[in-house]
Chain A
Amino acid sequence: MPADPAKIKFLVVDDFSTMRRIVRNLLKELGFTNVDEAEDGAVAWQKIQAGSFDFIITDWNMPNMDGLTLLQTIRGSASYKALPVLMITAEAKKENIIAAAQAGASGYIVKPFTAATLNEKMMKIFEKLGW
């Protein structure tokens, strides 16, 4: 995988455009500039199949297709099951975290968070992936 952070292609999924912008800005602060956006799981899944994304950051609660279903769809596919998926949510609820973990989330982060927190989570995922 690319060592250059600018080469890693991110997909940020959230129905609230302000939130997408926040995440995009935080990523930019960390040097990740290759970012695309999708407004719900259904759009994200289409984009994932059409483009070559390296990393998915998705909100949980969205219309049409929520983040958990998106995660399950990704994990259930042949071509994209290894894609790292970081879940973002406003809840620190136990059942949510367990559900995300069972569905195969690579990481879980609770709103609001700082660039440092996001970086820490991502580094952990990178480490596991051996990037």
Chain B
Amino acid sequence: MSDFAGMEDLLQDFLVEATDLLSGVDNKLVELEKNPQDHGLLNDIFRGFHTIKGGAGFLNAAELVTLCHLTENLFDKLRNNEMTLNKELMDVIMAATGIVRDMFGTLKSGMQPSSAEPDVIARLKAALAGQLIVAAAPVAAPAPAAAAPVAAPAAGPDWDKLFGAVAGVTAAVPEVVATPAPPAVPLPVEAVIQHAVGRRGTDKPGYQGPASGRRTEEKSRDNSIRVDTSRLDQVLNLSGEIGLTKNRLNSLRSDILNGRSDTDTLHALDQAVSQLDLLVSDLQNAVMKTRMQPIGRLFQKYPRIARDLARNLGKDVELMLVGEETEIDKTMIEDLSDPIIHLIRNAVDHGVESPEERRANGKSEKSQVRLEARQEGDHIVLIVADDGKGMNPERLRAKALEKGVITDEEANTMDERQSLHLVFLPGFSTKDVASDVSGRGVGMDVVKTNIQKLNGNIEIKSVVGKGTSFIIYLPLTLAILPVLLVQLGQQPFAVPLSMVREILPIEISQVQEVGGRATMVVRGEVLPIYPIAHLLGWTPEMIPEYGVLMQMADHTFILAIDGFMGREDAVIKSLEGFRPKGVAGVTTLSNGQIVLILDIKELLADMGDNRGVPRSAFVPVEQVAA
């Protein structure tokens, strides 16, 4: 049952736009903490709440209107220098912003939000009335609220007007010029409360009571997208051009079918096809661009999260955003949200030190966490870097040993990179006491899994005493996957190019057997060889001649193949309805052939310890005979 029957479109529009607006406000609040006197910021934030209030009014979201109105009034006073910003005030404002966000969540699930925590409302009102606000215990809170409007009418007339406005939206301003606003007599508190309640009573009858909405919010994916009209125009232009070229081709076809095949006709055909080629790839790019969104949309919410966290932990952290204009596929933006939150939490909680510790080490007390995005070739690079204490590979190894996550042998052969990557193992955490912020080692493995789901990978760079950087590499889009076409006999298969490091010949003289399994030494590293036929469960047709050095997050190996056809930008089609194990999807080659895209990770997981084959699998037949 929705409270918004007939208004779904309006609600949807409002939520998309207002959520953006609120993220902007959140960011500006963090800025404001640094520059409490910045008039421009105060103005912007004021306008943000004001705008949300205006829209909420049309949705009859009375509680949201009330909350925004109070906050807005507070900013009105701040920007008019009738009040100065202090820490307590900031906390109330932050709390109010949080509740506005919660209310958006409730609205999203089709419910009218219930009233905000009385504590926050009371503190807002007290602040407006010019009273000193204490971080009031919920029980004590109502007292100042009740006292405020009556006791200090001079200082706090604004909120009377709110109720005037709410009460008499139409009645208050019957004439344009003549009649001013309602009488300036403060309404008694009871009347105010009654009024608020009364208004809520007019909500849709299906409303199940105040608390039901807030937590039942479904995590629904936002399916709408905002696209710059100039980009849509470009798509339209290109489709028009393609239409024209299609007409040209049609006419050439009838010419050719009618027996014309002179040089001019063929030349014209060649031209038309080349043009179509160009136009179609332009169109593909243009369509892809409509899905691209500036990552700033995602970044916006983090300064606030970092700030809240740092304050909880008694640290002084500044989150620096770089490259907010970098564009990235919309679906990825959503899937990146949680991993980045986790990395930021991690940086603030584990990465940076307490102010005391920093001072003792001769560092500035304020620590910096940098969130950066940039495009590098056909990749997007995301960096979460802190200037904290860094990670000690030695300690990580010791910890992993102690926890039994790795064996002695493994610990001894691990290089620095491998040691740092231990943090991605499930259940790994170097903090003995789990904090409620970063949890107990749950998360980093999830971060990694999520990044891999996006066909990306994550690296760590850390210098003890200087800080740690997590670097995420992502493809520009999920729709197009660069693949390497490899052959098993004559049958081509596609493997994601992102995993391919190099291609090398397999020579039997270099193949050694370790523990009954074939391996090859590549630049000092012993790598197992897995023939593709073996992974797929096919009977090998010939001795594999080539090896593809594949690098996965936790595993590097050589995929033995019979031949390869080169690289291609595959447009992935998922197999509707069924999904064979080890197949990520299919793609069509330029010659029309359909090729399976292999999910290497799944193939390997499926084989378990059975992936390897004996060295004999690579011994040419004539040598066996000899």
| Chain A residues within 8 Å of B, Cβ to Cβ | 15-19, 21-22, 25, 59, 61-63, 90-94, 97-98, 101, 105-113, 117, 121, 124
In contact, B177 and A101 (Cβ under 8 angstroms): yes
In contact, B53 and A107 (Cβ under 8 angstroms): no
Q: Which of B10, B44, B172, B180 is the most central at the interface, judged by chain A CB atoms within 10 Å of its CB?
A: B180
Whether B164 sits at the interface, judged by CB under 8 Å, is yes
In contact, A17 and B17 (Cβ under 8 angstroms): yes
In contact, A19 and B176 (Cβ under 8 angstroms): no
In contact, A22 and B176 (Cβ under 8 angstroms): no
Answer whether A61 and B51 are a contact pair too, CB < 8 Å, given A93-B161, A93-B181: yes
Contact with A along B6-20 (1 / 0, CB 8 A): 000010011001100
The listed residue (B18, B169, B176) touching A112 by CB distance below 8 A is: B169
In contact, A92 and B10 (Cβ under 8 angstroms): no
23 residue pairs of the A-B complex, CB under 8 angstroms, read A16-B51, A17-B13, A18-B17, A19-B51, A19-B58, A21-B13, A22-B58, A63-B47, A90-B53, A92-B169, A92-B173, A92-B182, A97-B180, A101-B176, A105-B176, A106-B176, A107-B176, A111-B54, A111-B57, A111-B58, A112-B58, A112-B169, A113-B169
* Contacting residues, chain B, for A117 (C-beta < 8 A): 170
Q: A63-B47, A109-B173 are in contact. List 11 more A-B contacts (CB 8 A).
A: A61-B47, A90-B57, A92-B165, A92-B181, A108-B176, A110-B169, A111-B57, A111-B58, A112-B57, A121-B176, A124-B176
* Contacting residues, chain B, for A25 (C-beta < 8 A): 10
B161 to chain A, nearest CB (A): 6
* Contacting residues, chain B, for A90 (C-beta < 8 A): 50, 53-54, 57, 165
* Contacting residues, chain B, for A112 (C-beta < 8 A): 54, 57-58, 60, 169
| Nearest A residue (CB) for B53 | A90
In contact, B10 and A18 (Cβ under 8 angstroms): yes
In contact, A91 and B165 (Cβ under 8 angstroms): yes
- CA–CA, A101 to B178, complex, Å? 9
B624 to chain A, nearest CB (A): 74
In contact, B180 and A19 (Cβ under 8 angstroms): no
The listed residue (B14, B18, B44, B181) touching A97 by CB distance below 8 A is: B181
Which 6 residue pairs across A and B have the least CB separation, nearest first? Answer: A112-B57, A94-B180, A94-B181, A101-B177, A112-B58, A92-B172
- CA–CA, A105 to B173, complex, Å? 14
* Contacting residues, chain B, for A59 (C-beta < 8 A): 54
- Interface of A, secondary structure class, is mixed
B16 to chain A, nearest CB (A): 8
Whether B55 sits at the interface, judged by CB under 8 Å, is yes
- CA–CA, A111 to B59, complex, Å? 11
Answer whether A16 and B54 are a contact pair too, CB < 8 Å, given A101-B177, A107-B176: yes
Answer whether A21 and B54 are a contact pair too, CB < 8 Å, given A92-B173, A107-B176: no
* Contacting residues, chain A, for B50 (C-beta < 8 A): 61, 90
Contact with A along B195-222 (1 / 0, CB 8 A): 0000000000000000000000000000
B64 to chain A, nearest CB (A): 12
B7 to chain A, nearest CB (A): 10
* Contacting residues, chain B, for A94 (C-beta < 8 A): 180-181
In contact, A18 and B176 (Cβ under 8 angstroms): no
- CA–CA, A124 to B54, complex, Å? 24
| Nearest A residue (CB) for B174 | A120
A65 to chain B, nearest CB (A): 13
| Nearest B residue (CB) for A15 | B51
A88 to chain B, nearest CB (A): 8
B156 to chain A, nearest CB (A): 15
* Contacting residues, chain A, for B172 (C-beta < 8 A): 92, 110
In contact, A110 and B47 (Cβ under 8 angstroms): no
In contact, A18 and B169 (Cβ under 8 angstroms): no
The listed residue (B55, B170, B180, B182) touching A113 by CB distance below 8 A is: B170
* Contacting residues, chain A, for B18 (C-beta < 8 A): 18
| Nearest B residue (CB) for A22 | B58
* Contacting residues, chain A, for B426 (C-beta < 8 A): none
- CA–CA, A91 to B57, complex, Å? 12
* Contacting residues, chain A, for B57 (C-beta < 8 A): 90, 111-112
- CA–CA, A90 to B47, complex, Å? 11
In contact, A92 and B164 (Cβ under 8 angstroms): yes
Whether B168 sits at the interface, judged by CB under 8 Å, is yes
A115 to chain B, nearest CB (A): 12
- Among B57-97, those with CB < 8 Å from A are 57-58, 60
B67 to chain A, nearest CB (A): 14
B320 to chain A, nearest CB (A): 25
B259 to chain A, nearest CB (A): 55
- CA–CA, A93 to B168, complex, Å? 12
* Contacting residues, chain B, for A93 (C-beta < 8 A): 161, 181
A29 to chain B, nearest CB (A): 13
- CA–CA, A131 to B601, complex, Å? 74
* Contacting residues, chain B, for A124 (C-beta < 8 A): 176
| Nearest A residue (CB) for B55 | A18
Answer whether A22 and B10 are a contact pair too, CB < 8 Å, given A111-B57, A111-B58: yes
- CA–CA, A117 to B54, complex, Å? 16
In contact, A110 and B165 (Cβ under 8 angstroms): yes
B574 to chain A, nearest CB (A): 34
In contact, B173 and A16 (Cβ under 8 angstroms): no
In contact, B161 and A92 (Cβ under 8 angstroms): yes
